[in-house]
């Protein structure tokens, strides 16, 4: 059990049976009142962010989030298939909503991290560095820096990302930040 003053950014708690992670924490002590913890928390299943205040008397259950490596195999007709990294015979599929945010950045046979809460996969984490090959890049136009010096390029997974003007077809880029469909 966690007390209200143990809530720090990154801590995982359970509220109403749902796992939440603490995004922001502020300790507030006003005159002649009991101190409170003002937090901004994010639901790890629905990704909704809300503000919540905790009192001194509140006891919170710590969420036990297991992180397990899984291997991405392929996507077909809205289904994404994965397997155990060392045992390809143990195949399973994950709901499209769990990986939709990252679907355009995952290459086949990539090892990613699954977040598991109460024996249910609630999300995935990509590696910090993802290297993807540029398959289409428009030519750079000299003097075209008024819009910030970026252009849209197509990467090997089919996604369009923003890249600096010097990126050409065949280059390898790491961790594309902006995805355009």
User: Which domains occur in the chain, in start order?
Assistant: 2-62 (2.30.30.30), 66-125 (2.40.50.140), 131-180 (2.40.50.140)
The confidence score (pLDDT) of residue 144 equals 55
The confidence score (pLDDT) of residue 124 equals 84
C-alpha–C-alpha distance, residues 175 and 162, integer Å: 11
Residue 30 pLDDT exceeds 70: yes
Q: What's the predicted TM-score (pTM) here?
A: 0.69
- What's the number of CA atoms in the CB half-sphere (13 Å) around residue 56? 5
Beta-carbon contacts of residue 109 (< 8 Å; ≥ 6 apart): 71, 72, 73
Mean pLDDT across 8-16: 88
pLDDT confidence tier of residue 164, bands split at 50, 70 and 90: confident
C-alpha–C-alpha distance, residues 163 and 137, integer Å: 9
| Torsion sign over Cα 46, 160, 69, 41 | negative
Answer yes or no: are the C-beta atoms of 175 and 130 closer than 8 Å.
yes
Tens-place pLDDT, residues 78-89: 788 889 998 888
Cα angle for residues 81, 48, 101 (degrees, 5° grid): 30
The confidence score (pLDDT) of residue 142 equals 67
């Amino acid at each position: 059990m966690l007390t209200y003053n143990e809530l720090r950014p990154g801590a995982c708690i359970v509220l109403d049976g749902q796992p939440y992670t603490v995004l922001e924490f502020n300790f507030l002590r006003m005159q002649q009142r009991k101190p409170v913890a003002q937090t901004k928390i994010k639901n790890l299943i629905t990704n909704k962010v809300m503000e919540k205040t905790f009192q001194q008397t509140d006891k919170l259950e710590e969420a036990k989030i297991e992180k397990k490596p899984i291997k991405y195999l392929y996507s077909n007709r809205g289904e994404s298939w994965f397997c155990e990294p060392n045992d390809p015979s143990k195949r399973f599929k994950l709901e499209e909503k769990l990986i939709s945010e990252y679907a355009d950045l995952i290459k086949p046979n990539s090892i990613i991290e699954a977040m598991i809460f109460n024996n249910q996969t609630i999300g995935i984490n990509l590696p910090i560095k993802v290297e993807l090959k540029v398959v289409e890049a428009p030519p750079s136009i000299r003097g075209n820096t008024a819009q910030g010096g970026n252009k849209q390029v197509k990467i090997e997974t089919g996604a369009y990302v923003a890249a600096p003007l010097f990126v050409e077809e065949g280059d390898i880029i790491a961790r594309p930040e902006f995805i355009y469909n």
